[in-house]
Amino acid sequence: MRKLLTSKWFIVLMAVLLILTAIILGALPGSPLNKVLKPVGGVANPVQRFIKTSGDKASDFWAAISDGIAIRNENEELRAEIAELQYQLTQNEEAGIRYEELRDAFHIRDTFSNYDIFGASVLSREADEWFSIIRIGLGNTDGIYLESGDSYAVVDVRMNLIGRVIEINEDDSKVLPLLHEGFVASGKVNAVNGASVVVQGDAALKQDGLCLVTGIDENTVLEPGTEIVTSGDGGLFPQGIPIGVIETVDYTNPMNITATLRPYADIGDLNDVFVMVPYSVIEEQQDNIEAGLPPVESEADYDEEETVE
């Protein structure tokens, strides 16, 4: 220990530390060391300035780093806020579209006062969307049922005919679109005492997005642009639902005049549909439920009745 204290390097180190300590303390305002160090100020001042400048630069450096981190965090928060605002804007636009669709649905209900209107979203559309069965998000859990042999009209938000419901399951339903070969509807020219026609799907015409029109009387005059609506005959579709317009007419065979029809509905842009159910059917189903019976009779029930007879 004595050897360490008498070492010249230890003495030099201690002397440097004392000088630096004195210089730093002398730099403080009002320090009593200012008078003591005044004679050596010429040497101490540059050292003090160097230490102060170095300290200021170090302080500025860390302040810049802190500010940079704060700015980066603020930018991340702003980006998150912008993303949230864009999402809300998109949601508002979708809400506006849905509002317009619901308003149109009320228009459908006003036009067809004997029908209740059930809105549903399209769940699946295949590549040949016009010709395949369309699945929609409406089922028994929504209070809608389908008796065997019955069907309900399906329209878009503009009240144009889409097709008809052919099956209702627990959570979804299947719709037969009007271009499908299995689709048939009674129609008429949209005029007072308009001529009756039959609109049906056709395997050859569906590739062009057209329906076949048959049952045209030889005295009926059809022209391109003539509007066809449902006639109400047969009770499957209510009268007056717009179907489409005549595109071409073939008078080659007066005994079998045919025409092509381009539907108004555009399945490619279809997101929501509306199913039209007569109030009389809903009331009957509700009475069955209240009586503890199934809301509709199944195919098995019909088969059993036929067997008994």
As given in the structure block, the two tokens for residue 130 are 């016009």
Token pair 């065979």 in the structure block, residue:
253
Name the residue with tokens 């007879």.
309
Block residue for tokens 């929504």? 142
Contacts of 71 (CB under 8 A, 6+ apart): none
Q: Is the dihedral of CA 248, 253, 254, 256 positive or negative?
A: negative
Contact 262, 209 (CB under 8 A): yes
Backbone angles phi, psi at 293, to 5 degrees: -105, 160
Residues in the chain where the model's pLDDT stays below 50:
95, 99, 127, 129-130, 300-309
Q: What is the pLDDT of residue 309?
A: 38
Residues 133 and 85 occupy one common structural domain = no
Residue type present at position 165? V
| Structure confidence at residue 141 (pLDDT) | 92
Phi, psi of 152 (to 5 degrees): -125, 145
Final residue belonging to a domain, choices 51, 86, 111: 111
In angstroms, the CA 210 to CA 200 distance is 10
Task: Return the ∠ at Cα 154 (arms to 211 and 106), rounded to 5°.
Answer: 130
Q: pLDDT at position 69, please?
A: 77
79 and 127 share one domain: no
CB of 26 closer than 8 Å to CB of 46: no
Encode 19-29: b = buried (16+ Cβ within 10 Å), e = exposed. Answer: eeebbbebbee
Q: What is the CA radius of gyration of the chain?
A: 43
Look at residue 105 in the predicted model and tell me its pLDDT.
Answer: 58
As a whole number of angstroms, the distance between CA 149 and CA 146 comes to: 8
Other C-beta atoms lying within 10 Å of the C-beta of residue 151 = 16
Task: Please tell me whether residues 173 and 54 are part of one structural domain.
Answer: no
Query: Any idea what DSSP says for residue 141?
Result: G
Domain containing residue 292: CATH number: 2.40.10.350
**Do 21 and 74 share a domain, yes or no?**
yes
Q: 63 and 181 share a domain?
A: no
Q: What is the pTM of this model?
A: 0.63
State the pLDDT at residue 267.
74
The last residue of a domain, from among 63, 91, 111: 111
* 307 occurs within a structural domain: no
11-63 per-position pLDDT tens digit: 667 766 676 666 665 555 555 555 555 555 555 556 556 555 665 666 666 66
Please indicate, yes or no, whether residues 256 and 208 belong to a single structural domain of this protein.
yes
Q: Quote the CA–CA distance of 246 and 265 in Å, as a whole number.
A: 14
Q: Please tell me the total count of domains within the chain.
A: 2
* Residue range(s) defining the domain that contains residue 247: 115-299
CA distance 85 to 94: 14
Tell me how far apart the alpha carbons of residues 158 and 273 are, in angstroms, rounded to a whole number: 10
255 sits in which H/E element: none
52, 85, 111 - which closes a domain: 111
